[in-house]
Chain A
Amino acid sequence: MQLLVQTLNGLTLAGIMFLVSSGFTLVFGVMRVANLAHGAFYLLGGYIAFSTVQVIGNFFLGVLVAAVTTAVLGLVLERTLINRIRGNVMAEVLLTLGLVFVIDDVALAIWGGDPLSLKLPGLLAESSTLPGSHLVYPNARLLILGVAVLVGLGLYYLLRRTRVGAIVRAGVDDREMVGAMGINVRLVFTAVFALGALLAGMGGALGATVLTLGPGSDATILTFALVTVIVGGLGSFEGAVLGSLIVGLLSNYGEAYFPSLAHFALFAPLVVVLLIRPQGVLGRTTA
């Protein structure tokens, strides 16, 4: 029973990891930008959802407002700043790192430095008995699992079954050739960056219900996302799914069963993957 609960907890964590890392890996795969501000989008999404829930009292609206706000912020930042330094890797890293400081300080000024936890209203604050067992599990965590699965299916459909998805995948393969096919790659970059920010913001809103939210949460989640995408394979959607499951489950088992080795449990798979298959489990070597 305990193992089942820990597995469910690990899956919840994996759900949050997936929301955050799928956005990160999409942006990296298409734009070759390691967006270090991705964690800051997560933090901002969490805070915005927190405030929206406080004011309006509706969690779903909170998630929506957080996702839309971070998407718009991502869109504006891509158009006004990242756009200008395209292709200059060092400048991209420094710029996104600079954005982290700015966003963090703005968040500190608005929401303060004390860790917050998003209190869910109504039914979501309660627990349900899982069918076929006597296991009682919080509704909020079940919601996270459900949302992560739905978003995953939605992303899969977008990437595999639509023309937009084909353009994004082609961009991962060879973005210069996508431009030479008559497709405005800059527009694709902006859309992907906004989508990545949306996913991070949504992850923050959901994550804030089970993880504490405060200064430093962004760095923690970014580290998790980095481990996830490196294990799964940078730029690979399936890799983000697999990486999230590995990182979420291992990290949670680690914390539950051998807390002193929790970080080891998280980073050991990273080291093993880097040694055996540096491009990630589902990653491709760039020829």
Chain B
Amino acid sequence: MITVQNLHTYRGLSYVLQGVGLTAEGASCTTILGRNGMGKTTLVETVMGLLPAREGSIDLDGNELAGKSPYQIARQGVALVPQGRRVFSSLTVEENLTLGARRGGSANPWTLERVYDLFPNLSRRRRNRGSDLSGGEQQMLVIGRAVMTNPRVLVMDEPSEGLAPVIVDLVGTVIDQLRQQGLCVLLVEQNYGLAVDVADKIYILSGGQIVWDGTSRELEQSPDVRHEHLGV
């Protein structure tokens, strides 16, 4: 379980996260929705240690993550599927997958075989460079790369961005499978459809603060909330 409390983060001089608090449990998908510029990516980068938290705490199963460097946070069991995918373009598919591979104390760890079973496309292109893949394949690659570290929490920053609808559906299916295998998925999205499909719990981030939380069904039944904070 990951618990974020009273998180404040600056990006340069601008005060972005203004006291964010949320909880994400194992074997579930917690989604953070919000429009552009509301602090979603800043939240992701703060959790991963890529941006320093000015104040507040990020607790993963009793270990404080705030103030640690990204590699320490990753070794504590947080993996990142970053916005814009960021594959290692000069590495082969297989090198991308094995670069950070760790068992991470998992009883049934992710291995190359399991990732290739999940994404047969990657298996066929294992010798190709990251830069040779299509957008959808790159998205699968970075998901595979992240689960190969056998994390407890998988943080995904807009994995649907720039993908064809059929690939977005596949991303949704994969998130569902990961959750069923016990992973805690923290999904940051703008894609409302994907979010309500896969989320067990939804938070809405607006102006650097959590302004609403509830289940997918509750959000579906609150047109005012959707309209005010998401414009849908």
Q: A-side interface residues toward B, CB under 8 Å?
A: 163, 166-167, 169-170, 172-174, 176-185, 284
Contact of A180 among B48, B90, B96 (CB under 8 A): B48
B86–A174 CB distance below 8 A: yes
Interface size class of B (residues with CB under 8 A): 20 to 34
Contact of B70 among A163, A166, A176, A284 (CB under 8 A): A176
Residue of A nearest to B142 (CB): A177
A169–B80 CB distance below 8 A: no
CB distance from A214 to the nearest CB of B (A): 40
Knowing A181-B100, A183-B100 touch, does A173 contact B90 (C-beta < 8 A)? yes
Residue B10, interface by CB 8 Å: no
B90–A177 CB distance below 8 A: no
Measured between beta carbons, the chain A residues less than 8 angstroms from B211 are none
A173–B100 CB distance below 8 A: no
A173–B91 CB distance below 8 A: yes
Q: How far is it, in angstroms, between the C-alpha of A182 and the C-alpha of B100 when the chains are bound?
A: 6
Residue of B nearest to A185 (CB): B71
Q: How many A-B residue pairs have CB under 8 A?
A: 64
CB distance from A168 to the nearest CB of B (A): 10
Residue B102, interface by CB 8 Å: yes
Measured between beta carbons, the chain B residues less than 8 angstroms from A169 are 88, 90-91
CB distance from A286 to the nearest CB of B (A): 10
B89–A181 CB distance below 8 A: no
Q: How far is it, in angstroms, between the C-alpha of A65 and the C-alpha of B91 when the chains are bound?
A: 35
A170–B80 CB distance below 8 A: no
Residue of B nearest to A236 (CB): B90
A166–B48 CB distance below 8 A: no
Residue B7, interface by CB 8 Å: no
Residue B69, interface by CB 8 Å: yes
Residue of A nearest to B100 (CB): A181
Q: List 23 A-B contacts (CB under 8 A).
A: A163-B99, A166-B99, A169-B91, A170-B88, A170-B90, A170-B91, A174-B88, A176-B70, A177-B82, A177-B88, A180-B74, A180-B82, A181-B71, A181-B99, A181-B149, A182-B74, A182-B75, A182-B100, A182-B102, A183-B74, A183-B100, A184-B71, A185-B71
CB distance from A32 to the nearest CB of B (A): 16
CB distance from A183 to the nearest CB of B (A): 6
Measured between beta carbons, the chain B residues less than 8 angstroms from A174 are 86, 88
A183–B71 CB distance below 8 A: yes
Residue B169, interface by CB 8 Å: no
Residue B112, interface by CB 8 Å: no
Residue B201, interface by CB 8 Å: no
